[in-house]
Structure 1
Amino acid sequence: MINNNNKSITITGKIPVSGISENLEIHLIQITEDKLRNILIENQQALERRNEWVAPFGISLTLLITIITTTPTDSFGLNSSGWQALFYFCLIAAVIKTITTFVNRPKKTTIENIVDRIKNVRSGR
């Protein structure tokens, strides 16, 4: 039962409703499927690139722990100082890779940024 005079509504006699708010404005976005796929693929690739620094960081951490906790011995035709130099070289390379991938990772993308790209709007958000 709906009574418009005093804005009192009762649905099936069980739930009293004090009013109805309407938000029916529609903003329609038209885009072709291939453009939408390209935008979503680019966003997915950017999300994956944001975490590329994790693998070299894990390798760096593993090499650092190995250097700290082990004493190299002569084996496989390489003396102990050679093994130590090899581990330090690998550690330095992994740290450099970690830093470069972390610094060059894409900016964080928000839902608003993705919608703006779909709408073909350039915004400073």
Structure 2
Amino acid sequence: MENDEEVASFDTSHESRFINERRSNIKSDLIEITEDKLENILLKHIKKVGTRKGWLAPLGIFISVILANISASFSTKFGISANTWEATFILANLGSGLWLLTSLVAMWLNWKESSTEFLICKIKDSDET
């Protein structure tokens, strides 16, 4: 306790009948950064944050198309044969499956860079990740 500035202060006075003890620990780092640099960092980070949830849409489409393909009995509609409808759903299933796979890989590759801690370190311009 050589440096009193780094120690949290305790206030044991009873200002209110609801507050038993008050503690104050409000020291923080000050980060100075220009607006354009902060904007660049945030714009790059937003793209990476999107990868964390980017797999949800392809998963929903993938499951929907699989369920439709499994449960449907295709027939000729709008002048298109049953086999063509079935092939269309199979292709849609393959496409959404590939989209899901690439989204999961992108999420895995960008997991660390999409975290809040990484963003703060980028803003601070430090290597503490």
Q: TM range, normalised to the smaller chain? A: 0.7 to 0.9
Change (3 A) 1:28 1:87: same
What is the deviation of 1:39? 1.7
Give the counterpart letter for 2:54 in structure 1. E
Which residue in 2 is equivalent to 1:70?
72
Provide TM-score, normalisation by structure 1: 0.73
Which of 32, 43, 46 pairs up with 2:45? 43
Which residue in 1 is equivalent to 2:111?
107
Q: Unpaired segments of 5 or more residues in structure 2?
A: 1-10
Which residue in 1 is equivalent to 2:123?
118
Change (3 A) 1:95 1:31: same
Q: Is the 8 A contact 2:62 2:93 kept in 1?
A: yes
Which residue in 1 is equivalent to 2:85?
83
Runs of 4+ off more than 6 Å: 13-16
Which residue in 2 is equivalent to 1:27?
29
Q: What is the root-mean-square deviation of aligned Cα atoms in Å? A: 2.9
Give the counterpart letter for 1:122 in structure 2. D
CA distance in 2, matches of 1:43, 1:77: 48
Q: Is the 8 A contact 2:121 2:127 kept in 1?
A: yes
Tell me the matched-pair count: 116
Change (3 A) 1:10 1:79: closer
What is the deviation of 1:44? 2.3
Provide TM-score, normalisation by structure 2: 0.71
What is the deviation of 1:66? 0.6
What is the deviation of 1:25? 5.0
Which residue in 2 is equivalent to 1:3?
none
Q: Is the 8 A contact 2:51 2:106 kept in 1?
A: no
What is the deviation of 1:69? 0.9
Q: Point out the structure with max Rg over C-alpha.
A: 1
Change (3 A) 1:12 1:92: closer
What is the deviation of 1:13? 9.2
CA distance in 1, matches of 2:16, 2:60: 63
CA distance in 2, matches of 1:77, 1:114: 54
Q: Unpaired segments of 5 or more residues in structure 1?
A: 1-7
Residues 7-22 of structure 1: pairs in structure 2 closer than 5 A: 10-11=13-14
